[in-house]
């Protein structure tokens, strides 16, 4: 099948605990020609997270040096921590013809849209804000104050979902994965 020489940049955003990581893991299990872009963050790793696999964990000083050196496609301060997408790795992977998927917040997606208008922007939404709060509580990794901040951010994020090319509701993970796969397949078939 004909494939464009450059890979597609796929951006997946959505509120905290909506299931972005779960959807991406399922996609990565099925597609070998999608590369996951590992983000850089200043937040502390969770118990099950591994440096260089889930995130590159750095100090705030290191992160700010990377900003000064223009090493990010996008970066933002979210939930009191910095997050960013390393530029060189993404651009090299796209140039090799492989698709790259970014799991980033709405601030970062807005930055990416300015530089990569050809990107595919997908917003993963919860079935309801009540369900989202239950998922955050179930995760058991956040204080009550952190949950309140995440819920405030989720409300704002939901209002800005209209800035995306596609919205997929993650009610049932398998259905959400199928819808995201359909978007990717359609975008790969699109005539430029």
Residues at the binding site are 14-21
What is d(CA 118, CA 121) in angstroms, rounded to the nearest whole number? Answer: 9
66, 72 Cβ separation under 8 angstroms: yes
Query: 34-36 and 39-41: which strand pairing?
Result: unpaired
Question: Measuring CA to CA, how many Å separate 74 from each of 11, 44, 67, 99, 129?
Answer: 12, 20, 9, 18, 27
Distance, CA of 116 to CA of 169 (rounded, Å): 24
What is the Cα–Cα distance from 147 to 141, expressed in whole angstroms? 9
Binding residues for ATP: 14-21
CB 153 within 8 A of CB 136: no
Q: Quick count: other Cβ atoms within 10 Å of Cβ 101?
A: 24
Strands 81-86 and 39-41: antiparallel
């Amino acid at each position: 099948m004909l494939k464009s020489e450059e890979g597609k940049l796929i951006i997946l955003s959505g509120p905290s605990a909506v299931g972005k990581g779960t959807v991406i893991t399922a996609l990565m299990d099925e597609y070998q020609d999608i590369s996951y872009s590992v983000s850089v963050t200043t937040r502390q790793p969770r118990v099950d997270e591994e440096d260089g696999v889930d995130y590159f964990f750095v100090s705030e000083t290191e992160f700010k040096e990377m900003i000064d050196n223009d090493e990010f496609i996008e970066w933002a301060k979210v939930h009191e921590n910095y997050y960013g997408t390393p530029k060189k790795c993404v651009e090299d992977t796209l140039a090799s013809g492989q698709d790259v998927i970014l799991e980033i917040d709405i601030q970062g997606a807005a930055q990416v849209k300015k530089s990569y208008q050809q990107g595919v922007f997908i917003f993963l939404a919860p079935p309801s804000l009540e369900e989202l709060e239950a998922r955050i509580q179930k995760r058991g990794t956040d204080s009550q104050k952190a949950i309140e901040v995440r819920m405030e951010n989720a409300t704002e994020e939901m209002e800005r979902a209209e800035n995306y090319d596609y919205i997929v509701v993650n009610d049932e993970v398998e259905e959400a994965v199928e819808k995201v796969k359909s978007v990717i397949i359609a975008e790969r078939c699109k005539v430029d």
